[in-house]
Structure 1
Amino acid sequence: MTKLDKTNRHLLELIQKDARLSTHELADLVGLSASPVARRLRQLEDDGLIEGYRAHLNQRKLGLHITTFVHVRLKDHQEASVLAFEQSVREMSAVLNCHTVSGAYDYLLQVVSQDLVDYEQWVRSLQRLPLVSHIDSSFAIRGVKTNDFLPIP
C-alpha cells in the first residue's frame, strides 16, 4: 500500500478537483518532475486509492430537475430478498446512490428525475418490487453542499 505522504495527498486533492490535469501540470503543482508524478499516480491506481476518472455533469442542464431522498423498508431481511432488492436498485439509472442505513428504514436512495411525473413513474416501479414494504420520500429543495470530494487524511 502506498504511503500517503504530503505529495500523494496533494495529488489526490488535485485530481479530485480536476482529473483532466496533465501529468506535467500536476508535476508543476506538486514540485516534482513528470516521471515521478506518473509513477505515483500509477501506484495510487494500483493500490485502489484512485478507482477511476470521470466527468462531473450538470444535472439541471441534463433536464434532471428533481433530487429525491427515498427511504425504503423491506418486507423481510432474508439474504435472497436483500440481494434481489439491491440488484434491482443497481439496475435503476435514476438511483445515484443507495445505502443501507440504521433506524426505521433499511435503505436510503438518492434519486434524480426530470419532473414529478418522471419521479412518479420511477416510484411506481419501486412499489412493484415484491420486497418493498414502505417508501418515504423527501424532495431536495436546494443543494447546500453537493460536491463529492473526499477529505484526504
Structure 2
Amino acid sequence: MDDIDSRLLDALQQNATLTAQELSDVLNLSPSQIARRRQRLEAEGFVTGYVARLDPEALGLAVQAFVQVQMAAHNADNARSFASLVSTLPEVVAAWTLTGEADYMLRVWCEDLPALNDLIHGRLLPHPAVARVQSQIVMNQLKADSGLPV
C-alpha cells in the first residue's frame, strides 16, 4: 500500500459514493487507474463494505447509550448464549468484549428512556448469564464516528 492507496482509502471513508472520475480529480490519477486501485484494495480486504450513515433523529432515535455487561460466570456456553442474544437486539448497533470489570460493552440507540429501560430490564438483565448491567447515556457526541487513520 502506497501513499495514493492511503489517500484513496481516506477519500472513500469520507464519501464512498464518489465515482472513479471524482476520485481521479482528487487524487490526480486517471479514472481507470483509480478503478483498478479500488478493486485491488477491495480484493485485498482493505475495504470490507460500504454503508450509508443514517440520521438517528430522523429515525426517531433520541437516546444513545453505552451499556456495560458483567457476566455471572465466565464459560463458553454463557459467552455463546449472550452473543446470540445480542445478535437479536436491533437496538444494539455495536458490541465489544472487554478486559476489566465489565465483560461486554454495547452501544445502543433507543427511541426514548422507557425503551432503554425495557432493553436493560426486559431483555438484558433477565438473561441467565448476566449478573450486572450499567448504562451511560450519551449527552452529546463531540466527534462523529469517523474513519480509521490511514
TM-score category (smaller protein): over 0.9
Q: Tell me how far apart the structure 1 counterparts of residues 84 and 39 of structure 2 sit (CA, whole Å).
A: 32
Please name the residue that 1:49 is paired with. 46
Give the alignment partner of residue 141 of structure 2, picking from 140, 143, 146: 143
The answer to whether residue 99 in structure 2 is matched with residue 102 in structure 1 is: yes
Normalization by structure 2: what TM-score?
A: 0.96
The percent of aligned pairs where both chains have the same amino acid is 32
Secondary structure class of the residue paired with 1:108: strand
**Matched residue of 2:49: which SS?**
coil
- Which segments of structure 1 move beyond 4 Å, counting only runs of 4 or more? none
Unaligned runs of 5+ in 2: none
1:18 aligns with one of 15, 23, 45: 15
Structure 1: runs of 5+ lacking an equivalent: none
Question: Residue 45 of structure 2: SS of its match in structure 1?
Answer: coil
Residue identity opposite 2:129 in structure 1: L
What's the TM-score once normalised by structure 1's chain length? 0.94
What is the aligned-residue RMSD (CA, Å)?
A: 0.9
**Structural mapping, 1:88-99, within 5 Å:** 88-99=85-96
Q: State the distance in 2 between where 1:144 and 1:35 align.
A: 38
Number of equivalent positions: 149
